[in-house]
Amino acid sequence: MLVFNFSPFPNLETNRLNLRRLTSEDVDEILVLRSNPEIMQFIPRPLIKSKEEALEFITTMNAAVDSNTVINWAITTKENDELIGMIGFYRIKPENYRAEVGYILSAAYHGQGIITEALQRVIQFGFEEMGLNSIEAVIDPENFGSEKVLLKNNFVKEGHFKEHTFFEGKFLDSVFYSLLKKNY
C-alpha cells in the first residue's frame, strides 16, 4: 500500500502559477469562491456562508494535509500571492494507488487555461511523486468546462452513474473520468 508524506508541504510551480498551502490569510478568497452559487453549481458541497466557515474549511483542509489523507493546493499567479482557485487530491485510496482530483477557479480567471496548467503539474506530482497508478475525476454531466479540461489532459470517460449522489434533496448523476499512469 502507498504511504504519503506531505510534510514539508510540496509547493509546486508552473509557467504562470504557484501552487502552495492554504493559510488563514486566504479566508476572504475562500469565502468568495465557495459562497458563489454559480461557481459551486456543479460541486455537490454546501455553500460556505461566513468568514468563520471559511476559516473552518482552511483548518479542516490543512489538518487533512497534515495527516496525509488529502493534498490540497491554493492556486496563485506568479504576480500575486492571492488565492484564485484550488486543486488537489481529495479522496485518496492508497490501497488502490488511486486518487480523485478536484479543482475550482475564480470566474475572473476562467477560459485562460489555468486549470489545465495546474492540473498537468498535479498529475505529474500524483504519478511521479505520490506513486499513483490512476487518477479519477467525478463531474456533473453538464459541467462541460470541466469535461473539456479532463479531455485535454487525456482523461477517458469510464461511466455515467445515474442518480449516484444525493445532495440537498436531489439525486444527481455523476460521470467518472480516469487517467492511467501508462497513458499519461
Ligand X SMILES: CC(C)(COP(=O)(O)OP(=O)(O)OC[C@H]1O[C@@H](n2cnc3c(N)ncnc32)[C@H](O)[C@@H]1OP(=O)(O)O)[C@@H](O)C(=O)NCCC(=O)NCCS
Tell me the three-class secondary structure of the chain, residue by residue. Answer: CCCCCCCCCCCEECCCEEEECCCHHHHHHHHHHHCCCCCCCCCCCCCCCCHHHHHHHHHHHHHHHHCCCCEEEEEEECCCCCCCEEEEEEEEEHHHCEEEEEEEECHHHCCCCHHHHHHHHHHHHHHHHCCCCEEEEEECCCCHHHHHHHHHCCCEEEEEEEEEEEECCEEEEEEEEEEEHHHC
Pick 146 or 178: Cβ nearer ligand X: 146
Query: 89, 99 in Cβ contact below 8 A?
Result: yes
Minimum Å gap between C-beta 41 and ligand X is: 7
Of the candidate spans 73-81, 99-107, 124-132, 167-175, the one that interacts with ligand X by CB under 6 A turns out to be: 99-107
Q: Which of 39, 27, 90 is nearest to 61 (CA)?
A: 90
Q: Is 130 in the site for ligand X (CB under 6 A)?
A: no
Q: Is 146 in the site for ligand X (CB under 6 A)?
A: yes
The C-alpha cell at 16 is 504562470
Measured from each CB, the residue nearest to ligand X is 145
Q: Is 45 in the site for ligand X (CB under 6 A)?
A: no
Determine which residue in the list 19, 54, 71, 115 makes contact with ligand X, applying CB under 6 A.
Answer: 115
Q: Is 46 in the site for ligand X (CB under 6 A)?
A: no
Q: Is 139 in the site for ligand X (CB under 6 A)?
A: yes
Of the candidate spans 9-17, 60-68, 76-84, 97-105, the one that interacts with ligand X by CB under 6 A turns out to be: 97-105
Determine which residue in the list 4, 57, 97, 103 makes contact with ligand X, applying CB under 6 A.
Answer: 103
Determine which residue in the list 45, 51, 78, 110 makes contact with ligand X, applying CB under 6 A.
Answer: 110
Minimum Å gap between C-beta 104 and ligand X is: 4
Q: Which residues bind ligand X (CB under 6 A)?
A: 39, 42-43, 103-105, 110-116, 139, 143-146, 148-149, 152
